[in-house]
Amino acid sequence: MKKFTAILISTFFLASTAMAAPKKGVSVSVELSPAGSFEITGKVKGSVKKTGAGYEAKKLSFAVKKLKTGMDLRDKHTKEKLEYKKHSDVVVTDAKGSGGKGSAMISVRGVSKKISFNFKESGKYIVAKFKLNLKDFGFSGINYMGVGVKDSVEVSAVVPVK
């Protein structure tokens, strides 16, 4: 009976942890060539507003100098490639969506481009996902010691709804 109770409590704890609210912020999945990957993470400034059947955000931003990759040297190289001294933020403007699909303008290194994204509601948050082609923003030949970054990255952003 004690073993059953311990298993039941453990199962409840794991289930409640899995259902916790998503963590606000941005995560960029970067694939490497010939193999490997890493993740860029950071905080998002701004929020999404509910508008009838949809959502909108006038401006969301991500401070480049505060990004983290899990490795100090890679942080430094990533910030330099993003030209953080000249372009301190990645900025998303005019984001609008309904029915799980949306569009916005994104500015990276001073280059603006319209993007499409998918999203879902998760409690008091919107979780948006989209891909970016790095060449669209003037990136090319990103490599270090024979390991290069692939041309496409996958972005996931968790933004609060206000």
HSE at residue 52, side-chain half, CA atoms within 13 A, is: 4
CA angle 101, 106, 109 (to 5 degrees): 155
**23 or 69: which carries more pLDDT confidence?**
69
Q: Which of 105, 130, 139, 117 is nearest to 29 (CA)?
A: 130
Using 50, 70 and 90 to split pLDDT, how confident is the model at 10?
Answer: very low
Of the listed ranges 76-85, 112-121, 130-139, 144-153, the least confidently predicted one is 144-153
Residue 22 has a pLDDT of 63
pTM above 0.85, yes or no: no
Query: How many residues appear in the chain?
Result: 162
CATH, range 23-160: 2.40.128.110
Exposure string over 57-76, b if 16+ CB within 10 A, otherwise e: beebbbebeebebeeeebbe
pLDDT score, position 73: 94
Cβ neighbors of 99 (< 8 A, separation 6 or more) are 53, 54
Between residues 112 and 141, which one has the greater pLDDT?
112
Please, which residues have CB within 8 angstroms of residue 39's CB and are 6 or more apart in sequence?
27, 28, 29, 30, 69, 70
**pLDDT class of 9 with cuts at 50, 70, 90:** very low
